[in-house]
Amino acid sequence: MAAWFRPSRPNRPLVLALALAVLPLAGWAAARHLDGASRDRALAATVPQEVRAGYATSARCEACHPAQYASWHRGYHRTMTQYATPAAVRGDFADVTLRDGDSAVHLSRRGDDFFAEMVDPMWQYQVDIGQRTPAPGEAAPRALRRISMVTGSHHMQAYWVPGNEGNNQLSLPFTYLFDDRRWVPRGQVFLHPPEQDHYDEQVWNVSCLRCHTTAGQPLALLPGGGWKIESVLGENGIACEACHGPAEAHIAANQNPLRRYWLHLRGAGDPTIVNPARIAPARGAEVCGQCHSLTDVSADIELGAGKTYVPGAELERTQPLLRPLHPTPALERYAAEDPL
């Protein structure tokens, strides 16, 4: 063997020293990974999951519709509701203490997790809606909660923490304004009647879910009667299926490439999905109107199946529009000029 190719004898003490130095680091990294994974699993058990039957989620639309997917992905609809990841959270959590009157909230961040130390949100909510009356001199209990979800991505962002009953999400009492780069009390950005001394829409599942997610179902009926907050979603945010309808059947039908090309060559619509550009103008406008209008929803529908409207259907069959009780000439003129 050539001298230049002869391997040198390993320096065993050096190898041993390096191994002893690396092993603790490897163990620390593995433990940190497992700890993070266990925290993620614990948090996932407290937030609504994307499991509505018939819905496929937007991730499965991208392969066949890359341009449309990219356009949607850049927009604000996608990020209307998100899980609280570093990519989603825009508020300042750098050991910030926020005060509103006698109330204080301390915000912090640990790695990829965001926390709020605050009055126990379930206790406070029960006090606000009259389900609990504090005893004289009773101090409000405090709790450390991990931020679970965020709502809003355009002008401001609201934050939610698990309420520890089902998978209900309760509001952080402060909201972050993007342009001002500051926190403000929740009641200063969400409107409520002047005679009401607090903002009571504090449960995400029964207030924000209807329009800030795709196909949200807020409540689960119990076999013996009654209900519990155990929400499920088609997808977080306003995703493809919010405007095109559930896509599971569409994806299954189009596994056959001959079918796809035949529809393309004919220039015909696909009956397994809704294209708002191909339906009647009034029905197309109602696709937006499911959220961008004032509508009512039957309590039975809300409890049983969530919002049952699907794009292309007549909106008022499931969400009656709320109209003014008194004549409003200006509004009537506007409607006459633009009936859609």
What share of the chain in percent tops pLDDT 90? 52
Neighbour-count burial of 332, counting CB atoms closer than 10 A to its CB (0-12 exposed, 13-18 middle, 19+ buried): exposed
- Which has the closest alpha carbon to 309: 288, 339, 280, 335? 288
What is the mean pLDDT of the segment spanning 94-109?
A: 95
CB distance 50 to 57 below 8 Å? yes
Q: How many CB atoms lie within 10 A of CB 240?
A: 26
pLDDT digits (tens, 9 = 90+) for 7-54: 455 566 655 555 555 555 555 444 444 455 666 677 677 888 888 889
What is the mean pLDDT of the segment spanning 150-170?
A: 93
Which single residue is written with the structure tokens 């593995």? Answer: 30
* CA distances to 9, 264, 294, 304, 326 from 330, in Å: 93, 45, 18, 39, 12
Residues 6+ apart with CB under 8 A from 31: none
Please list the residues that pair with 183 across neighbouring strands: 176
**Which pLDDT value is given to residue 222?**
79
**Which pLDDT value is given to residue 32?**
45
**Which pLDDT value is given to residue 314?**
94
Residue 266 has pLDDT above 60, yes or no: yes
CB distance 109 to 147 below 8 Å? no
CB distance 60 to 72 below 8 Å? no
Predicted TM-score (pTM) of this structure: 0.80
Amino acid at 47: V
**Which pLDDT value is given to residue 6?**
41
Q: How many CB atoms lie within 10 A of CB 284?
A: 19
What is the mean pLDDT of the segment spanning 230-237?
A: 92
**Which pLDDT value is given to residue 326?**
78
Q: Of the ranges 44-48, 74-78, 118-122, 151-155, which one carries the lowest mean pLDDT score?
A: 44-48
**Per the structure block, which two tokens stand in for 311?**
């794009």
